Chains A and B, each alone.
Chain A
Amino acid sequence: MKLLPDYRRWLRAGIVSPEQTAGATAGFSRLRTVLIGPLALVAVWWLAFDAQWVSHKLLPSPWTTVQSLWESVASGAMTKDFLSTFNRTLSAFAIAAVAGIPVGILFGSNQKIYRSIEFLVDFFRSTPATAMFPLFLLIFGIGDFAKIAVAAFAAWLVVVFNVAYGVMNARQTRILAARVMGASSWRVFRDVMFFESLPQTFIGLRMAVSVALVVIIVAEMFIGSSDGLGRRIIDSQQVFDLQQMYASIIASGVMGYGVNLFFLAIEKWLVHWSGK
């Protein structure tokens, strides 16, 4: 295959060691495996389009969709919507994280507080955040902040619950080990419980950013917004510009996936001991 670099030549030239080529080959074969699913989806999409399983009105061809996405991005038409949604999501997430982590730590480190509040947290976690839209609109008006506030609230609950859970489930032996060395309660908290809770905290943060994105997109669709990907998706649906609709859906997917990937990378770097 011409696409792959010619490792045999590099090997002879001594540029790479045999172990490296083994690693790279494994990497390529993994990449090939990973690509099977997405390629199959595009193939089915194309087949469905080509064989007219679904009306062309409902399902444009993958190529024209990608083309439409590319044009919107290149012309900058989508960028503004993308950035608005991105900013709102990050604002909501930031509020949730800043307000959620300390509260989670407080709940998690105090059994009594936790037990008295557990039901409320569980209840509101099970309540669809979107059911709160009207209430938040009443409180915050129809401006941008109402959307951010609902998303922040939903994400906050996720952060609180996960941080509290992480703190509560700190490995007992580690806490005992620090105590037996004469560590004060504050030290045990700062040096052990905090770090012990980090893996679960990161799980919570990743979930929170996803929740925030979902709520923001829905809010943009249904509670009067002049921009954002949610707005863009519903607008293109209204005028039956389905290529644009699919393109915007894909763009919001790219955002969600990208943010998740970003957090995973930070997590792997910061919480390097997790799962080991």
Chain B
Amino acid sequence: MSAQTEPRLRPVPAEQAVHGRQTYITVRGLSKQFAGSPLYADFNLDIPQGKFTSIFGPNGCGKSTLINMIAGLTPVDAGDILFDGKTLKETTIGYVFQNYRDALLPWKRALDNIKYPLEIAGKSKSERTRRVEELIASFDIRFDLSRYPYELSGGQQQLVSIMRALAPHPEVLFLDEPFSALDYEMTLFIRDKLQEIFRATGVTMLLVSHDLEEAVYLADRVLLLTKRPTQVAETVHFHAPRPRDADTLSTEDFIRTKARCLEIFQREVRR
């Protein structure tokens, strides 16, 4: 591949694309309880590699807890979670929090926030700078990253959070309601950026969303959860070609898929 034709973002290597159909994250026999009441009991889940998986379910059913357990932020009571057979320690992950204000480090400039995971990974200064420049180019950033997070708008801060999560080339990116604190315009903008990144890098993405339209729009698979004790009610696939745009929302396929998800969701809420 010559230098000029190389895309700005890391392309999916051929062997990884094939690999992509395989199971990537395996959750086996997962149990978790809070204050004696079980949230998950013997829960199993497979997340395929290179796919976008949305997680949708009733309020308080444990969506955040689930991805936090997978990401190692919440300890499990029992069960195994493996990434392509590896443990979490051997895996690079990225995590985007809902509350960007509390997730960024306000004493570091936006640029240094993005570099921070690279610093932790022991990358050299020049490597860090190169990676950030790569990210700036692929995200088409027009605002000044030498500012402190609190000097940026909410949307800009969340963009910085996403760039920070992607900086160390994670194998999987977790997003817990990343748009819920943003206004509509910003949501649309970042949503499409995310889709672009997903297409360009093929990184496995796991999104918790409380907006069914958004969950379906972005997803290859929508994971619908039941009420507690939580199980997977059903997995709904959505195969619309990418890049998806506003027109996707009015296709018959989209409407049907969304209606199907809603039906399952309502059945589970009423149960």
User: Which A residues are within 8 Å of any B CB, using their own CB?
Assistant: 171-174, 176-183, 187, 191-192, 195, 198, 272-273, 276
Contact = CB atoms under 8 A, between A and B. Distances in A.
B202 interface: no
A191 B105 contact: yes
B102 A181 contact: no
Interface residues of B, number: 22
A172 B121 CA distance: 22
Contacts of A191: 105, 116
19 contacts: A171-B102, A173-B102, A173-B103, A174-B102, A177-B95, A177-B103, A177-B104, A177-B105, A180-B71, A180-B73, A181-B117, A181-B168, A191-B116, A192-B105, A195-B105, A195-B107, A272-B107, A273-B106, A273-B148
Most buried by B among A177, A191, A198, A272: A177
Interface of B: 71-73, 92-95, 97, 99, 102-107, 116-117, 120-121, 148, 150, 168
A195 B108 CA distance: 10
Contacts of B168: 181
Contacts of B72: 179-180
| Binding site secondary structure of chain A | helix
A181 to B, nearest CB: 4
A179 B73 contact: yes
A171 B101 CA distance: 10
Contacts of A177: 95, 97, 103-105
Contacts of B94: 180
A242 to B, nearest CB: 50
B140 to A, nearest CB: 24
Nearest to A274: B106
Nearest to B107: A195
B99 A173 contact: yes
A172 B106 CA distance: 14
The 4 A-B pairs of least Cβ separation, nearest first, read: A273-B106, A173-B102, A276-B150, A181-B117
A192 B106 CA distance: 10
Contact of A273 (B97, B117, B120, B150): B150
A176 B116 contact: no
Contacts of A198: 107
A62 B117 CA distance: 62
Nearest to A177: B103
A180 B93 contact: yes
A231 B97 CA distance: 58
Contact of B120 (A173, A183, A272): A183
A182 B116 CA distance: 11
Nearest to A172: B102
Nearest to B149: A273
A195 B116 CA distance: 15
Contacts of A179: 72-73
A172 B103 CA distance: 9
B164 to A, nearest CB: 8
Nearest to B168: A181
